[in-house]
A and B are shown apart, each in its own frame.
Chain A
Amino acid sequence: MIGKSWIREQGLQDPLLVEALRRRGWEDVPLWRDGANKDQPELHERRNAAIRHWNEMRPLRDGPVNPERVEVTDTAAMTAEIKRRAREAGGADVGITSLKPEYVELGVDLPHRNVIAIICSEDYAKALEGPLEVEVEAMEAYALCADASTEIARYIREELGYPAVAHHNGSFQVQAIPVFHDVGFGELGRHGSLIHPELGSNFRPGFVTTDLPLDYDSPREFGIQDYCMNCNLCRQNCPGDAIPDDYITTSGIKRWLTNIDKCYPISRFREAYCHICIDVCPYSYKENGDPVKRDIFKQYMKVRKDEGYKTPKGDR
């Protein structure tokens, strides 16, 4: 099927970032310059190792399919086995749905029937340890997603005999948010990331597209979009004022589109990783009632207050 979803490239492959650099007369992104994080070399190396890892996993995304195909007579059992293996490989949650053009990169022909979404969680406590700790956690979650998606794709191809391709940071042709929504991981939040009832937005994605017959999950609504209509914590705490009041709608679903022109000066043009909109989101603890996460949230909000940001009046 031919994809209908445009995917923003990262780094210097994004023409908007390149244009923002040109307007500043800059060659490169401060966060990525050699010499960044020089006071924390071990963390810097862990971050770079994670990036190298998913790049090394890139050639393993696809491969030969075993010609002796396993007949799937019980799709529920096969679905359970795939989910079990994905969790064993590091996934914190796994969801499956039929592949749709809305999930696939604009103009790309991805000839598979199904998509398996695997999310790997980030440790929320890192929010209290500083931007580089948060960045390392994010990059290592991405690397784990690369491992998990690569292993599931390999299993499907080599042991079950069905085509399967892994999609992760090394390379992907799948747009994450609509898949997440449709497999029931949660709802899109004001900050532009999907909010999961247990994980908040503290997770990273990997996918497998495949022809393996599987049962599908369904979207779940638990009131996030209504909550976000009244909660402005992410918007109030965004140093770049990049999170909007307004939203657009796509098939009845609200989408708050982050203003990337305003986001980049904070998320790219400082020498510190920005994860603030995720870390101030109360849904990191709200739905699951996790007292540890609630305590982290309170401590983190104190950090934000010390930095001059206020909790908006009337916020829940």
Chain B
Amino acid sequence: MKDTKRPRETVSSLNYREAEGTPTATVPELKALAGAALSLIARAGADTGEKDFDGRPVRRFAATISDGQTMEIAFAGADIPSGIPDRTAHPSDIPFERPWVGDYRLAVSAPLVVMDLFWKGDEPLRIMGFSRGDWEADLAEMAGADA
């Protein structure tokens, strides 16, 4: 449920990029990468018995990638959805939708965190982190090979 109360505006609260032009359609590359990670979790993810901060069960998948390092996919959620939402939260909405708690969190480390997504049903996706790199090809290849 959205908390629509606006936080009190201070000078420092204006220290945000004006992001009027930021698109809210989730880009296809992100949907493909998330889909690949989710498919690996669904097919080969291990139920670790762990719970995350909000009590969601955590599943993990790990494999060696092309540079010899380990890629790990961590997924927290009661069930595994097939994909991520079609819309991405606009930055200007984030401060005014608090507290916000997602149902699903998906993080890929290769070996540093390169993609971290948080979402809830059909509500817009929240990108917690996303760094482009050679890991994308590794993930796509693994998901394809595993299919």
Q: Which partner residue on chain B sits nearest A32 by CB separation?
A: B12
A107 to B133, CA, bound (A): 17
Chain B residues with Cβ below 8 Å from A251 are 134
Q: Which partner residue on chain B sits nearest A44 by CB separation?
A: B11
CB < 8 Å neighbour of B112 from A14, A19, A173, A246 = A246
CB < 8 Å neighbour of A105 from B22, B30, B113 = B22
| Given A51-B15, A257-B114, A12-B22 contact (CB < 8 Å) | no
Per-position contact with A for B79-114: 1 when CB-CB < 8 Å, else 0? 000000000010110110011110000000011111
Residues A171 and B19 in contact, CB atoms below 8 Å apart: yes
In whole Å, how far is A174's beta carbon from the nearest beta carbon of chain B?
11
The secondary-structure label for the interface of chain B is loop
Does chain A have a CB within 8 A of B49? Answer: no
Which of under 10, 10 to 19, 20 to 34, or 35 or more describes the interface residues of B?
35 or more
| Given A15-B94, A171-B18, A48-B12 contact (CB < 8 Å) | yes
Residues B135 and A248 in contact, CB atoms below 8 Å apart: yes
In whole Å, how far is A99's beta carbon from the nearest beta carbon of chain B?
16
Residues B98 and A9 in contact, CB atoms below 8 Å apart: no
How many residues of chain A get a CB closer than 8 Å to chain B's CBs? 52
A55 to B132, CA, bound (A): 29
Residues A14 and B131 in contact, CB atoms below 8 Å apart: no
Does chain B have a CB within 8 A of A239? Answer: no
Residues B21 and A32 in contact, CB atoms below 8 Å apart: no
CB < 8 Å neighbour of A16 from B14, B21, B29, B128 = B128
Chain B residues with Cβ below 8 Å from A31 are 12
Does chain A have a CB within 8 A of B23? Answer: yes
Choose, from A22-30, A288-296, A301-309, the stretch at the interface. A22-30
A279 to B84, CA, bound (A): 40
- For the complex with contacts A12-B94, A248-B134, 17 further pairs of A-B residues with Cβ separation under 8 Å are A10-B16, A13-B94, A15-B89, A18-B95, A18-B98, A22-B101, A31-B12, A51-B11, A106-B27, A107-B23, A171-B20, A244-B112, A248-B111, A248-B112, A248-B135, A255-B131, A257-B131
Q: Measuring CB to CB, which residues of chain A are less than 8 angstroms from any residue of chain B?
A: 4-16, 18-19, 21-23, 27-29, 31-34, 48, 51-52, 55, 58, 102, 105-108, 169-173, 244, 246-251, 255-257, 259-260
Q: List 23 A-B contacts (CB under 8 A).
A: A6-B132, A11-B12, A11-B16, A11-B95, A12-B16, A13-B16, A13-B92, A15-B128, A16-B116, A16-B128, A18-B98, A21-B98, A23-B53, A28-B7, A34-B10, A58-B18, A106-B30, A171-B20, A244-B112, A246-B112, A250-B134, A255-B133, A256-B112
Q: Measuring CB to CB, which residues of chain B are less than 8 angstroms from any residue of chain A?
A: 7, 10-23, 25, 27, 29-30, 53, 67, 69, 89, 91-92, 94-95, 98-101, 110-114, 116, 118, 126-135
